[in-house]
Amino acid sequence: MNILQVTPFFKPVWESGGVARVAYDISRNLHENGHAVTVYTTNRSIYPSDLPTNRPTDVDGMNVYYFENLRRYIPGATPPVIPYRMPAVAKRETARFDVIHIHDHRTLLTVIASHYARKYGVPYVLQAHGALPDDTGSARMKRLFDVLWAKKVILGAAGVIALNETEAERYRNLGVDEEKIAIVPNGIDLAEYPDLPPRGRFRAAWGIDDATKVVLYLGRLDPTKGIDLLIRSFGEVGQEFGDAVLMLVGGDMGHNEEFRRRVRSLGLDDRVIFTGFVSREDKMAAFTDADVFVTPSFTGFPITFLEACLCGTPIVTTGNGDLLGWVDNTVGFNTAYTPEALAGAIGRLLADDALRDGFSRQAKEIVRTRYNWQAIVHEIEALYATVANGYREPRGG
């Protein structure tokens, strides 16, 4: 098939978040399976880059357009991604594609790509990546986009990809027909993790001995992730496990001082470690050294859950935001979004070595057999073939 992938950011602009990584992994696997893949993206988010712009560039055998993003010329603000040269290229090329896969629905790339897809009768698949709600982040901009374009963009799709049942229900509530919804999770490329770090390296770097229990959060330190709730929960955990530490691994999104105030108010200064942003290698070392990985709230399907599983680290999360049903009692626990419930689930894992070991074995198995990109891209190929033929059969996940 001749496939167009549309994503606001792509390799090597990894700092923009998980959508860039997922779009790249899907595209690369499609290319390796023999499909012709073209990518429309932009050249940067907020950091400088020397990527070639507004012309096709070979990236791992794929034809990638890094459209110049006018956002870089508006300092001190975060306007939408503005690929000003994309309409001319899309007008010229869209009709030759068999199917278009659009990642992240609230972007001008989405508006442009979906417009020309409808104009030339090319089916497109839309993947919102957990971003359907409009009450997080720049809520005002999201609502404005929804008023202007969302209904046409979403309901015009030949198929939509939901990362979990929560997101599938959101599509239904927006009026998407059931037969258009496919639940397809994110995955992980096992080839990118040939050798996991030996246990103890991350602990040694932060002066933590092997006997200390480590509770890990890894991701953006943002209030929407439930960081304050996690700190309060750890205050309860710390009363039972006097040697436990909480490691908050991730870049400061402008809220670290309020998190530090919460830590101080609970008398946890010497028990909570803010590491800041770490390299990918150090991230995997942190997963390997942790006893429990905790993400209180999320949307979509965070890759961090799969990386934790790959390292055999049990997971504790909640149903606040989205819900991943496969976690509960298989690789860890889903629990209520309260300090008491979260503390209880964390404490249960810290106290029971056999329980942690069982979840660890199951976590390693599930990520290798179910949540790897090779298996998932086969599902995506089947979806493409179905929408390209002009119909969809009901699918589950």
pLDDT one-digit tens code per residue, 247-280: 999 989 899 999 999 999 999 999 999 999 999 8
pLDDT of 139 above 70: no
- Count of CA atoms in the C-beta half-sphere (13 A) of 60: 15
- Residue 319, token pair as written in the block: 């149903």
Lowest mean pLDDT among 41-55, 315-329, 383-397: 383-397
Domains and CATH numbers, the chain: 2-187+372-388 (3.40.50.2000), 192-369 (3.40.50.2000)
pLDDT of residue 394: 39
3-state SS of the chain is: CEEEEECCCCCCCHHHCHHHHHHHHHHHHHHHCCCEEEEEEECCCCCCCCCCCCCEEEECCEEEEEECEHHHHCCCCCCCCCECCHHHHHHHHHHHCCEEEEECCCCHHHHHHHHHHHHHCCCEEEECCCCCCCCCCCHHHHHHHHHHHHHHHHHCCCEEEECCHHHHHHHHHCCCCHHHEEECCCCECHHHCCCCCCCCHHHHHCCCCCCCCEEEEECCECHHHCHHHHHHHHHHHHHHCCCCEEEEECCECCCHHHHHHHHHHCCCCCCEEEEECCCHHHHHHHHHHCCEEEECCECCCCHHHHHHHHCCCCEEEECCECCCHHHECCCEEEECCCHHHHHHHHHHHHHCHHHHHHHHHHHHHHHHHCCEHHHHHHHHHHHHHHHHCCCCCCCCC
pLDDT of residue 393: 43
Residue closest to 376 by CA, chosen among 30, 39, 12, 124: 30
pLDDT of 43 above 90: no
pLDDT tens digits along 108-137: 899 999 999 999 999 999 999 987 876 555
Q: Which residue has the higher pLDDT, 39 or 149?
A: 39
